[in-house]
Amino acid sequence: MKKQNYMWPSYTVGVCYYPEHWDEALWESDLDRMLSAGITAVRVFEFAWSIAEPEEGVFQFEFFDRFLDLCLKKNMKVIFGTPTATPPAWLSAKYPEVLNADNNGIPYEHGARRHYNYNSPVYKEKCRRIVTALAEHFGKHPAVCGWQIDNEINCETDDFHSEADQAAFRIYLQKKYQSLAELNRAWGTVFWNQTYTDWEQIRLPGHVLNRGWNPHQRLDYIRFVSDSARSFCFMQAEILRRFIKPGDFITTNGIFGHIDNYAMNEESLDIFGYDSYPNFAFGLNHRDHLQKTGFGLEEGLNDRRWSMHLSEVRAICPHFAILEQQAGAGSWISRMEGPMPIPGQIMLWGMQSIAHGADFVSFFRWRTCPFGTEMYWHGILDYDNQYNRRLAEVGDFASMLKKIEPLCGSDYQAPLAIVKDFDNMADAEVDVWHGRLDYPDEENIYCQAQLSHVPCDFVYLSDTMEAADLDPYKVLIYPHPAIMTGEKAKILTQYVERGGTLILGCRSGYKDENGQCPMKSAPGLLSDLTGTRVKESGFQHPAMPDAFILLDGLKIEASVFQDHLEPGQETEVLARYQGAWFTGTAALTRHRTGKGSCIHWGSTFTLPVLKKLFDMTGLSGHFDDIISLPESVEIAERTKDGRRFFILLNYMPEAQEIVLHRHMKDMVRGTSVFGKRIIHPFQVLVMEKES
C-alpha cells in the first residue's frame, strides 16, 4: 500500500480508551454510552505492549481480540496504536542499551515514558517485531480504521545521549560529510582547537563548560535527532503498510521539538495528528512562557493561542486529525498543569479544531484513570463513572457536527502566511540571538493576525516546493530567516515576481547551511530581493533611549534589535530610525521585483508595527464587507465547491456583539441571519454565506 492523503469521509468524534485499565465487564456499557453520545471511534493500545508480549517473543492477542470483536459488534471504529512509547520492563532490564541517557550520559530508569532511544539496534529489532506481530494479527480486523505510530514522538524529551546515539551520530556525519576535512570545515573546528583527526573522537554535544558549544555541531545534532525520529517512524510505517487494509490510515500525534514534522508527514504518514490541550494556556507552563516571552494573558490570546498551534498543524497537513482533545482538567500527580474546562469550552475547543482543519476529533480520555501518574488528568467521565456535564457537552459537539456536515473536507482560507523551515527553527534554538527573537515574533504575528481578523497560515519552505504553491498568499512574513539557501531564495524570488508581497525582519539571510556567517553583507542571498544591504546591526543599547520610527505620524519602537539598512537605487525608504545614534538610517524599505515587492524591516515584529504592515499591504479589513467583529471573537473561513462557510468562536466569558453585512444561513438553527447578533460566552456560530 502506498502513502495516501487521507480524508475523513464525514466528521467523526472519537475518544481515547484504555481497555486494559478497566474491568472487562465495563467494556460493553462504556461503548454503548460512547455511541449514545455520538462517539463512533476509539483509540487504543498505544501503551499496552506487555499485554500482547508479556515475555520476550511470547505473543498473546486474545485480550484485544475480545475488545475489537466487541467494537465490531457495536459498530465502533478503532484506531490502533503501536506501543513503542512504553517498552516493557523485561526489555529495559534485559537490554539496558535501549534506554536513552541525559546529556551527562546517565541512562534514564525504566518507567515513565519515552525512556528509549531510536538508534539502539536491539530496540529497533524489538519494535519491528511487535509492530509486525500486531499489524499481522489486527491489520485486517474490520473494526480497525487506522493506525497511530508510537505516541507523541519526541515528547517528554527531544534530547538523546545514549551510546547507541553516539555511534549513530558518527555514521550520520560520515554520510553527510564523507571526509573529516569537510566536517572540520563545516563545523569551523579550527576555532578553539577542536579539529578532529579520527571519527571516533566525535561525540554528541553534551556537558560542556560555560555553554561553550560548537554551534555548527549543535545544528547537526538537532538535524540528527530529527533524522533518527523520522527513520523510526518510517520503519514502523513501512511495516504497517504491508499488513493493513486498503483505505486504513497511518498517523502519529503531536508536534514536538527536534523533528522536521513536515518531512516526517510527507514520507511516512497518510494524515497528521495533533493533541490539543488549550488549557495549557492557563497552567504553570503558561507562566513560564510568559516570563520567557513577555507574551501571554494580558494580550488576550490565552486558549486561542491553540489556533496558532492548529495552524502549524495545517501547514503539515491541511486536513488533520485531533487524536487527543482536552475534555477535563490536566494534571499529573507530579505537575499541576491546567484547570477544568468551563461549561462551553469543550464545545468551543472542539470547534476550534474543526475551524482550523480537523475532520476527526478524539477526546482524551473516556474516564479518568484512578491510578498512576495521570490520576488527576481528567477525562470526560470522573472516577465515579456517572453521567456528567462534560459528557453532555461532548454529545452536543457530536450533534453540532452532524448539522454542519457540509463543511467536512472544506479548505481554510488565509491571505497571510508565516514562513518557517526546519533549519531556521533549529538555528533559532542553537543561537541565543534568535532564541530571543524568533518564537515571540511568530506569536506576535499570529496574535496581530487574530486581533485584526486576518486568517493566517504557516508554510514550511522546502527545497522541493514550487513557487506556485505560495500563490494563494497575498503576503508572506518570514520573520528572521538567518540561514538562507540558493533554492529557498529562488522560490521566494519567484513568489515575489508572480505578484506576492514578502516581508522580512532583521537578521535575515546572514548564515549559510552550516550556520556560519559568510564574508558577505546581509541579507546575503536575499539582497537582490530586498534591494538593501545591512551596514551594521546590533541590540538596542540598554543605556540609550529606544530607537523608533514614525509611520503616518505614529511612533513605533524598533524593539530589541536593529539592522541599519542601506537602500539600493530602486529601493523605496518607508521609514528611518530616530532617537538613536543612527538616526536617519533606513529602517523600513520596499523593493519591487516583477509584479510583487519585498518589504525589509530592520527590527522585530511587535504588534504596533505589524498593524501598520497589515494596513500597508492591504491585509487589514479582510472581512470588512462581510462582518464586523470585536477582537475577542475569532473568525475562520472555510470553502468547498464554491460555498463559503464562516465559523465564529467567542473565547470570552462575556457575550459579544457582531454585525453581519451579508445574509448568512445559521447552519445549526437553519435560520437566515443578518445585521446585529449576540454571541454568548464561549459560543460558536457556524454560518454559510447566502448567495
List, by residue number, the catalytic residues.
152, 324
C-beta atoms surrounding 158 within 10 Å:
17
Q: Which residues 6+ apart lie within 8 Å of 132 measured at CB?
A: 239, 243
Does 275 interact with ligand GAL (rule: CB under 6 A)? yes
Least distance between ligand GAL and beta carbon 44 (Å)? 12
Calpha distance 171→383 (Å, rounded): 50
Phi, psi for 671 (deg, rounded to 5): -100, 160
> Residue 273 or 596: which CB sits closer to ligand GAL?
273
Least distance between ligand GAL and beta carbon 155 (Å)? 6
> Residue 306 or 561: which CB sits closer to ligand GAL?
306
> Residue 320 or 364: which CB sits closer to ligand GAL?
364
Q: Which residue has the cell 498593524?
A: 611
3-state DSSP helix/strand/coil % of the chain, to nearest 5: 35, 25, 40
Least distance between ligand GAL and beta carbon 374 (Å)? 5
Please give the span between the terminal C-alpha atoms of the chain, in angstroms, as a whole number: 43
SS3 43: strand
Which of the 8 DSSP states describes residue 99? B
Contact status, residue 171 vs residue 141, Cβ threshold 8 Å: no
Least distance between ligand GAL and beta carbon 16 (Å)? 7
Does 17 interact with ligand GAL (rule: CB under 6 A)? no
> Residue 11 or 277: which CB sits closer to ligand GAL?
277
Residues 346-375 vs ligand GAL: string with x where CB under 6 A?
Answer: ------------------x---------x-
Count residues binding ligand GAL (CB under 6 A).
8
Query: Site residues for ligand GAL, window 132-161 (CB under 6 A)?
Result: 151-152, 155
Query: Site residues for ligand GAL, window 498-537 (CB under 6 A)?
Result: none
Per-residue cell: 18: 484504555
One of 324, 429, 438, 563 touching ligand GAL (CB under 6 A): 324
Does 377 interact with ligand GAL (rule: CB under 6 A)? yes
> Residue 328 or 523: which CB sits closer to ligand GAL?
328
Contact status, residue 604 vs residue 505, Cβ threshold 8 Å: yes
> Residue 6 or 377: which CB sits closer to ligand GAL?
377
Q: Omega of the bond prior to 365 within 30 degrees of 0, cis? A: yes
Phi-psi region of 592 (alpha: psi -120 to 50; beta: other; left: phi over 0): beta
Least distance between ligand GAL and beta carbon 46 (Å)? 7
SS3 letters for 379-442?
Answer: CCECCCCCCCHHHHHHHHHHHHHHHCHHHCCCEECCCEEEEECHHHHHHHHHCHHHHHHHHHHH
> Residue 158 or 497: which CB sits closer to ligand GAL?
158
CA nearest to 526, candidates 606, 465, 464, 461: 461
Query: Site residues for ligand GAL, window 244-273 (CB under 6 A)?
Result: none
Q: Which residue has the cell 527536534?
A: 258
Least distance between ligand GAL and beta carbon 286 (Å)? 16
Least distance between ligand GAL and beta carbon 220 (Å)? 28
**Which residues contact ligand GAL (rule: CB under 6 A)?**
151-152, 155, 275, 324, 364, 374, 377
